[in-house]
Structure 1
Amino acid sequence: MNRKLLPSWVNRRLNQWLVRAKKISLPGLQQVPVYDVGVFYVNGIANGALGVRASGISFNFFMSLFPSIIFLFTLIPFVPIPNFQDELMHLIQEVLPSNTFQVVESTILDITTKRRLSLLSFGFLAALFFSTNGISALIASFNASANAFESRSWLSMQFIAMVLVVILFGLTTIATGLIIFGKEILKMLVANGSMQSGLSQALFLSGQWLVILLFMLLSLSFLYYYAPSKRSNYRFFSPGAIMATLLITLLTLGFSYYLGHFGRYNKLYGSIGTLLALLIWLNMSSFVLLLGFELNVSIRNAQLGIKKDLELSDSSQDYERFYPKREDLLKDT
């Protein structure tokens, strides 16, 4: 953008913002000025081919999604909890757009109500294999953002990817269980008269969604902290993980609202429209994952840049101290 084409008052305001951005820092930026982080962040997004890398990650996640879902759903009939299947169906109906839920409802009911040991074992192995490949693709993309070579062996990287898959699966299972049991607890409290006001019920349900956000933040923090080959000075709860959690939440809510009110994928493409919508959501979510990690990398690069500037300034001062300038030598003569 050519700033000469802008009015003078706009240029003055931009200059004021730039001066402030070079002096102030936000919480989580580790005392690095906003301007320095922003410069690295914009350059990383512009030159990092995030769209291409997000497409590769989303494809690997798409391949792992269906075996994982099959494994989870075939595991449900073995859970000895009354009305667990009904509560899970209500939860899926709330999360998925109405058109998508109508397409997959009969299939989900068939899987979640009948015990299939052979399908359970196959689903577990397939889910573990494809999910590990998806995490491995994410690790490679993180290393590309951090300009780090993979120093770990293939077995070590596969082991880390497998551990991350198990952690993510455990966090997802716990979050789903808390939502389902939370609704049962709410029904019991309402039936006993302990929670009658609508405000109390709304606060209780809001607390459930806060739990979902917390578990999502935990999942992304595990990925950002343990997946890269070089962790440097990343914090576990990093600014990138917090930003990605908020963006994925807004993306999911907005995309679900769009499909429910404006999307016509099922009318145009039939049942394939559901897969198309899922691919678009996975691609955008993968892009957000890379945006969050790119923020962490930008903070680290800005810190390294400031450190190098300080080292150069110190070395120049030492040089001037031991080697006087030519003008000073001429004065002495």
Structure 2
Amino acid sequence: MTKLQRILVTSAPIAFVIRKSKRIVLPGFEAVPLYDVVIFFFQQINKVGLNERAAAVSFNFVMAIPAATLFLLTLIPYLPFDNLYNELLRFVGDLTPNKQTKQVIVNFLEDFFHKPKTGLLSIGFALVVFYSSNAMMGIIRTFDKSIT
């Protein structure tokens, strides 16, 4: 314990809270004082490596985002979005500075909205299943910690 920590713990307000928490027993804690519960909680957080596990779970979810985006975008030709397509064409016509730029963007939108890409859809689905299952298994492993 550092000198600053020792001074803080022995100060009157903190010492009072510690003394009171050693006598307070919350319902459902089977006669274990609140002080012991808090000490155990912080020891487990430091012991387990909460930051590393949280980083692993968030990494798995971030890895699933591009695969899900790829899968959802390859579904667009199979869905009835005619009104959206017409609105995008109108928007591109208003936004583009010349006819050549407009034609490039219209060709892209035509390909994107009207030509299904089944191979890319299958790969996207496989990637979504793989990465989302990795993310869920990471969450399960994080919460499946046995106390030794």
Shift in Å, 1:66? 1.3
Q: Deviations over 1:249-269 (max 9, x none)?
A: xxxxxxxxxxxxxxxxxxxxx
- In structure 2, the CA distance between the partners of 1:69 and 1:35, relative to structure 1 (3 Å rule), is farther
Query: How many angstroms apart in 2 are the aligned matches of 1:15 and 1:7?
Result: 6
Q: Which residue of 1 aligns with 2:60?
A: 60
Q: Which residue of 2 aligns with 1:289?
A: none
- In structure 2, the CA distance between the partners of 1:7 and 1:37, relative to structure 1 (3 Å rule), is closer
Q: Which amino acid in structure 1 is aligned with residue 42 of structure 2?
A: V
**DSSP-derived class of the 2:46 partner:** helix
Query: How many angstroms apart in 2 are the aligned matches of 1:21 and 1:6?
Result: 16
Q: Which residue of 1 aligns with 2:94?
A: none
Shift in Å, 1:134? 2.1
- In structure 2, the CA distance between the partners of 1:78 and 1:46, relative to structure 1 (3 Å rule), is same
Q: Which amino acid in structure 1 is aligned with residue 7 of structure 2?
A: L
**DSSP-derived class of the 1:114 partner:** helix
Q: Deviations over 1:145-198 (max 9, x none)?
A: 3348xxxxxxxxxxxxxxxxxxxxxxxxxxxxxxxxxxxxxxxxxxxxxxxxxx
Q: Does 1:42 align with 2:42?
A: yes
Q: Which residue of 1 aligns with 2:122?
A: 121
Q: Which amino acid in structure 2 is aligned with residue 38 of structure 1?
A: V
Shift in Å, 1:47? 1.0
Q: Which residue of 1 aligns with 2:92?
A: none
TM-score by length of 2: 0.56
- In structure 2, the CA distance between the partners of 1:7 and 1:43, relative to structure 1 (3 Å rule), is closer
Unaligned runs of 5+ residues in structure 2 are 88-104
Query: How many angstroms apart in 1 are the aligned matches of 2:37 and 2:9?
Result: 27
Shift in Å, 1:16? 2.2
Sequence identity percentage: 29
Query: How many angstroms apart in 2 are the aligned matches of 1:4 and 1:44?
Result: 22
Shift in Å, 1:128? 0.5
Shift in Å, 1:6? 4.2
Shift in Å, 1:42? 0.6
TM-score by length of 1: 0.29
How many residue pairs were aligned? Answer: 117
Q: Which residue of 2 aligns with 1:70?
A: 70
Query: How many angstroms apart in 1 are the aligned matches of 2:9 and 2:55?
Result: 40
Two-structure CA RMSD over aligned residues (Å):
3.6
Shift in Å, 1:4? 4.4
Unaligned runs of 5+ residues in structure 1 are 87-105, 149-333
**DSSP-derived class of the 1:47 partner:** helix
Shift in Å, 1:41? 1.9
Shift in Å, 1:132? 0.8
- Equivalences for residues 81-96 of structure 1 within 5 A: 82-83=83-84
Q: Which amino acid in structure 2 is aligned with residue 12 of structure 1?
A: A
Q: Deviations over 1:229-272 (max 9, x none)?
A: xxxxxxxxxxxxxxxxxxxxxxxxxxxxxxxxxxxxxxxxxxxx
Q: Which has the larger radius of gyration?
A: 2
Q: Does 1:5 align with 2:13?
A: no
Q: Does 1:139 align with 2:136?
A: no
